[in-house]
Amino acid sequence: MSLLQLQPAALWRHFQTLCDTPRPSGHEQALRSLLIEWAQARGLSSEVDEAGNLLIRKAATPGMEDRPGVILQGHLDMVAQANADTPHNFVTDPIRTRIEDGWVHAQGTTLGADNGMGVAAALAVLESDDIAHGPLEALFTIEEESSMRGALELRPNWLQGSLLLNLDSEDRGEVYVGCAGGVDVNCQRSFAQASVPADWQGVRLSLKGLRGGHSGLDIHKGRGNANRLLVRLLLAALEQAPLRLHSFSGGTLRNALPREAFAELVLPQDALDELQSLVAHYQQLYLAELGDVEPKLQLQLELQSSPSQALNDTASLQMLQLLDAAPHGVERMSPHFAGVVETSNNLGVVRLQQGEFSACLMVRSLRDSATLALAHRIRSLFQLGGCEVAMETPYPGWTPNPQSQLLTLFQQVHAQQFGKEADVKVIHAGLECGIIGAIYPELDMVSFGPIIRGAHSPDERVHIESVQDFWQTLVNLLAAIPAKP
């Protein structure tokens, strides 16, 4: 069964186009050009702002001209994550899908349902001739997954609508009215290297098989962080033998929980057996601690040729201790929203190559002041460790508006469709609503979507039946928007 056999047909057809068109963050140009051509062929106007965001406009259906303008909003890019055994070039290769037990999956990679479902739904509305709606704008931003740059650099005085439907949420029966803000903390330092003794052995340690996931949505689920787990093992090994680090590579995205980490090191030949025993011990230890959530965790040790240089003894210890001390995970749960994380940090990407160290940590919070407080604490830690630290791409949170008329209307539509109102939620993730709302403060906004699981990991999947419900809610909501007073 293919995507083109699913309903609603128009939505899935557009999603197939998104799967066929590579669109990792920073490489949205091909898709944007394709959508501009598509819009022109249907007589729809389109514009691109200075950041590269795409805006497509459609006139109201007859009799709906007096409705307030609605903005359908999503982002063009997707997270690029693949299993270790799945060769995939996200810049050139299409996403291959499969259907299993009522879900659409990708084959060994992220699916791009985040935010492909929202983009596909907006495109399906734009091409329709039987859906009632007022004046429409579809805003497709870029680089949401990597930096939020599209939203941050959105052109002011460009959008004409007064209601914004963000189509980037991931649960049926829920409507989101607030989200976390965030900031990246980027750290760099040069560590001293030394010549490696000729009789030392080169070793590569790998930690693989973790589930990964979204650094906001999954941060509280007790999943492993490959960077932290490998550092913990290396520090234990340092207590037994004078090993030295040559390289380290862990995680790929600051907003994805690290699934894999790799370290190349050197050590005396007579310490090799002890290291092999330690790796076997930590394999069992980690499974005992995390096996319920990380049953596929795997540590591997491979012998390799010894490099000519590696960090010296002091630098190796300093780097590992610095990473060991770095925070990761939930800092505080929200006192106002049950079960919602207020503040967290993800130790997302760590690199060491030829003595050059870098780390990227992503801080999130429902409170902008708490975002900065934790980011400043991380900065202090890494500066004490001799690093240059920059806090980059900050973005504001989305403060809930309990008086939202759009929320009231959404609840009426939801109750008519499902027999009950939706659960009102605040999400510990970086929806673009907060950023867009700072540029367009008069907008009334809500966010909703179908059921998506495993976002930002190769386990990403979307529930087929929920897509039909999501689509019908969108259609019903557009039709129900009342005339301007």
Catalytic positions, please? Answer: 77, 144
465, two tokens:
């039946």
Q: How far, CA to CA in Å, does 25 sit from each of 77, 90, 146, 466?
A: 5, 10, 6, 26
CB-facing half-sphere around the CA of 26: CA atoms within 13 A: 7
Question: Cβ(478)–Cβ(125) under 8 Å?
Answer: yes
Q: Which residue has the tokens 């093992």?
A: 233
CB-facing half-sphere around the CA of 124: CA atoms within 13 A: 26
Q: What are phi and psi of 347, to 5 degrees?
A: -80, 85
Calpha distance 10→104 (Å, rounded):
16
Calpha distance 230→301 (Å, rounded):
12
Structure-derived torsion over alpha carbons of residues 224, 210, 256, 16, reported in degrees to the nearest 10: -150
Calpha distance 459→468 (Å, rounded):
21
Q: Which residue has the tokens 């340092």?
A: 238
Question: Cβ(425)–Cβ(176) under 8 Å?
Answer: yes
**Which residues are bridge partners to 392 per DSSP?**
184
168, two tokens:
């980037």
Calpha distance 250→349 (Å, rounded):
6
Q: What are phi and psi of 442, to 5 degrees?
A: -85, -5
Question: Cβ(105)–Cβ(131) under 8 Å?
Answer: no
Calpha distance 471→434 (Å, rounded):
24
Question: Cβ(48)–Cβ(158) under 8 Å?
Answer: no
